[in-house]
C-alpha cells in the first residue's frame, strides 16, 4: 500500500551551477542523516531575562517524546537505524543504505562533479510520510557538497616578526588599540570555535604563545560527525583559519577555555557542530565563534530556518554567537550582479562581524575605514538580507532598503566591525610559519575574546547582546563612516559596511557591566 506523503517545505535542492552529473552512488553504501524536529513549545528568546540552563531548555523547548517515537516508527518502516537522539538539540540521526534513504525520503540521490570535488545531491524536494508533517523541520546529510567557505585572507607573503611589525599586529596589540579591559583574562569562560576543515598542532600553539609572552590557554578538540583535528601542514589550507581563530581568542582571553568543534564541511556537519556546541552541557560554552559561511542564496530554506532556530536556542541559553560577515564585499562572491549577504551572519540572533582597515600611531588608533582592497582583493561583507525581516532591535538603525529591491527592508548586516584588512592584519603562527592574516574571520574571534573578558568582569554571560548594543545608540562602538563595500557606503551611525562600528572597550564594559542577559 502506497505511503501517503507530504512535501517537506524548503527542502528543494539542485546541483551547483559549476558541476556536471557523473552517475549515481552505490545503493548499498551507508550514510547518516540528521533530522531536526520541532520544538515542543514556541520560543521567544528575548522573553527570558535570565538564561535557561541546558537542562531547563531541553525540558521546555526540546523535542517532544511523541515526536521522537514517530521518527522511530518511520525508521523501522524504511529499514533505517536510530544512530543518536538528542532531545535538547531536537535531533535524531538515522543511518541506512542509499537505497533505503531514497525510498524513505522520496528522492533519487545522484553524484555530481564540481571544481571542489565529487558530491552527492538530489534533484527537487524531499517527501516524508504524512505522520511526520509538522514534526520534521529539516533533513540534512543526503546532500554532502561543501557548504561553507573560510572568511580569512592571507597577506601576500610569509613574513618574520621584524618585517611584519610595520603593517601587522599581534592580537594583544589589536586589543590594546581597541582598549579591551586589561584586568581580566576570560577566566571561567568557554569559547567554542566551529571549524569545517584543517586543524592545529600543539607545537604551533606552544611556540606562538611563548613568543607573545602569554600564558597558553586550554585548547580542546571535539569531533562532530566523525571529523577530527586534522592539520594539513600548509599555511594556505584551512589550517590558517583554525590557527587564526584559536590564536586570536587565546592571546586576548588567555584565561578562557577554548573548545574547537571539528565537523565535515556539509550543511549537516555545520549544523551538527553548531547545535553540539550550543547545547554542550559538559563544556558549557558561553560564546560561539564562527568564521565560515556562504551567501544566503547558496543555502536551502530548511537550512536557513533550522540554523536560525539553533541561534535562537543560543540566545535563550545566554550564549553569544559571533559570525564573520564575508570577505567579498556586497556581492559576497556571487557573480549575478545582485547584492548578497553572508549566512549565518545574516541570522538576527548572531552578532555579525564586519571588517575595517586601521592605522595606528603611538599605540593608539589614528584612523579607521571600511576594509576594501578593490576588485583584486577582499572587502567586508554587508548589506540587507533577502531572507530575514528587519529585527525589532534595528527599527531605529535606519537600515536602507535592499539595492536589489526598492521596497525590501530586511535584517541589516553587519552589527559590528573590527580590523580585517590583511595589510593591517594579525600576526599568527600556522604550520611552523609566521603568517599575517586578515578577513572578517579575524573579527569573529576578536569579538568573541572581548565578550569572554566582559563575561568574566560582569560575573555572568552577556548572552544575546544585539538588542543591548542597538539600544545604546551606537555609543558603545567607534563609528566608522568612511569607505564602501561595493553597493553600500559607510555613514554616521549604523551602515551596511561596518554596522555600529568597531569595539570601544571602556564604553562596552560600561554598557554591559550591569545589563540584563537577553
Positions marked active-site: 241, 245, 441
Residue whose C-alpha cell reads 600611531 in the numeric block: 361
Please tell me what DSSP assigns to residue 320.
E
Separation between Cα atoms, residue 171 and residue 425, nearest integer Å: 9
Phi-psi region of 41 (alpha: psi -120 to 50; beta: other; left: phi over 0): beta
> C-alpha angle with apex 307: 447 to 349, nearest 5 degrees?
45
- CA-wise closest residue to 344 among 331, 353, 335, 336: 353
Q: Do residues 342 and 381 make contact, with C-beta atoms less than 8 angstroms apart?
A: yes
DSSP 295-317: EGGGS-HHHHHHHHHHHHHHHHT
- CA-wise closest residue to 499 among 286, 315, 346: 346
Separation between Cα atoms, residue 387 and residue 390, nearest integer Å: 10
- For the packed helices 440-458 and 239-252, what is the interaxial angle rounded to 10 degrees? 30
Separation between Cα atoms, residue 485 and residue 414, nearest integer Å: 12
Separation between Cα atoms, residue 237 and residue 228, nearest integer Å: 15
Residue by residue, what is the 3-state secondary structure of 218-265? EEEEEECCCCCCCCCCCCCCCHHHHHHHHHHHHHHCCCCEEEEEECCC
Separation between Cα atoms, residue 487 and residue 338, nearest integer Å: 9
What b/e sequence results for 189-200 when a residue is b if at least 16 CB atoms lie within 10 Å of its CB, and e otherwise?
bbbbbbbbbbbb
What b/e sequence results for 60-82 when a residue is b if at least 16 CB atoms lie within 10 Å of its CB, and e otherwise?
ebbbbeebbebbeebbeebebee
Q: Do residues 507 and 453 make contact, with C-beta atoms less than 8 angstroms apart?
A: no
Q: Do residues 380 and 414 make contact, with C-beta atoms less than 8 angstroms apart?
A: yes
Q: Do residues 155 and 139 make contact, with C-beta atoms less than 8 angstroms apart?
A: no
Who contacts 470 (Cβ-Cβ below 8 Å, separation ≥6)?
393, 394, 396, 397, 415, 494, 500
Amino acid at each position: 500500500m502506497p505511503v501517503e506523503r507530504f512535501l517537506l517545505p524548503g527542502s528543494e535542492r539542485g546541483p551547483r551551477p559549476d558541476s556536471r552529473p557523473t552517475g549515481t552512488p552505490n545503493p548499498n553504501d551507508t550514510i547518516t542523516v540528521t533530522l531536526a524536529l520541532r520544538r515542543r513549545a514556541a520560543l521567544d528568546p528575548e522573553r527570558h531575562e535570565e538564561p535557561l540552563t541546558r537542562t531547563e531548555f531541553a525540558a521546555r523547548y526540546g523535542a517532544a517524546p511523541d515526536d521522537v517515537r514517530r521518527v522511530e516508527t518511520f525508521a523501522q518502516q524504511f529499514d533505517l537505524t536510530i544512530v543518536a537522539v538528542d532531545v535538547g538539540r531536537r535531533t535524531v540521526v538515522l543511518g541506512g543504505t542509499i537505497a533505503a534513504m531514497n525510498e524513505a525520503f522520496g528522492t533519487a540521490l545522484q553524484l555530481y562533479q564540481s571544481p571542489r570535488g565529487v558530491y552527492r545531491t538530489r534533484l527537487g524536494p524531499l517527501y516524508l510520510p504524512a505522520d511526520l508533517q509538522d514534526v520534521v523541520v529539516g533533513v540534512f546529510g543526503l546532500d554532502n557538497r561543501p557548504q561553507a567557505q573560510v572568511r580569512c585572507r592571507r597577506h601576500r607573503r610569509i613574513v618574520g616578526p621584524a618585517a611584519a611589525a610595520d603593517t601587522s599586529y599581534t592580537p594583544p596589540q589589536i586589543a590594546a588599540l581597541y582598549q579591551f579591559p586589561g584586568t581580566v583574562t576570560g577566566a571561567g569562560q568557554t569559547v567554542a570555535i566551529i571549524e569545517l576543515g584543517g586543524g592545529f598542532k600543539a607545537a604551533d600553539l606552544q611556540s606562538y604563545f611563548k613568543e607573545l609572552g602569554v600564558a597558553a590557554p586550554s585548547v580542546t578538540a571535539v569531533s562532530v560527525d566523525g571529523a577530527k583535528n586534522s592539520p594539513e601542514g600548509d599555511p594556505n589550507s584551512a589550517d590558517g583559519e583554525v590557527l587564526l581563530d584559536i590564536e586570536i581568542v587565546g592571546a586576548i582571553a588567555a584565561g578562557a577555555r577554548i573548545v574547537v568543534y571539528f565537523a565535515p564541511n556539509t550543511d549537516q556537519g555545520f549544523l551538527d557542530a553548531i547545535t553540539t556546541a550550543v547545547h554542550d552541557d559538559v563544556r558549557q560554552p558561553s560564546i560561539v565563534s564562527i568564521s565560515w559561511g556562504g551567501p544566503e542564496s547558496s543555502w536551502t530554506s530548511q537550512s536557513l530556518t533550522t540554523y536560525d532556530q539553533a541561534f535562537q536556542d543560543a540566545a535563550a541559553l545566554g550564549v553569544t554567537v559571533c559570525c564573520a560577515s564575508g570577505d567579498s564585499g556586497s556581492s559576497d562572491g556571487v557573480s549575478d550582479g545582485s547584492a548578497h549577504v553572508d549566512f549565518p551572519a545574516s541570522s538576527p540572533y548572531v552578532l555579525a562581524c564586519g571588517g575595517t582597515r586601521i592605522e595606528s600611531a603611538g599605540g593608539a588608533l589614528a584612523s579607521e575605514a571600511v576594509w576594501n582592497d578593490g576588485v583584486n582583493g577582499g572587502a567586508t561583507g554587508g548589506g540587507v538580507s533577502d531572507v530575514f525581516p528587519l529585527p525589532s532591535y534595528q527599527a531605529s538603525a535606519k537600515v536602507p532598503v535592499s539595492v536589489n529591491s526598492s521596497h525590501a527592508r530586511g535584517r541589516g548586516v553587519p552589527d559590528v566591525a573590527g580590523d580585517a584588512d590583511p595589510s593591517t592584519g594579525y600576526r599568527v603562527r600556522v604550520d611552523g610559519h609566521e603568517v599575517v592574516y586578515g578577513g572578517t574571520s579575524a573579527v569573529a574571534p576578536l569579538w568573541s575574546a572581548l565578550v569572554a573578558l566582559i563575561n568574566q568582569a560582569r560575573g555572568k554571560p552577556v548572552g544575546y547582546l544585539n538588542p543591548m548594543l542597538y539600544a545604546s545608540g551606537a555609543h558603545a562602538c567607534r563609528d566608522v563612516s568612511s569607505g564602501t563595500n561595493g553597493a553600500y557606503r559607510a555613514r554616521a551611525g549604523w551602515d551596511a559596511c561596518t554596522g555600529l562600528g568597531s569595539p570601544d572597550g571602556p564604553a562596552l564594559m560600561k554598557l554591559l557591566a550591569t545589563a540584563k542577559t537577553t
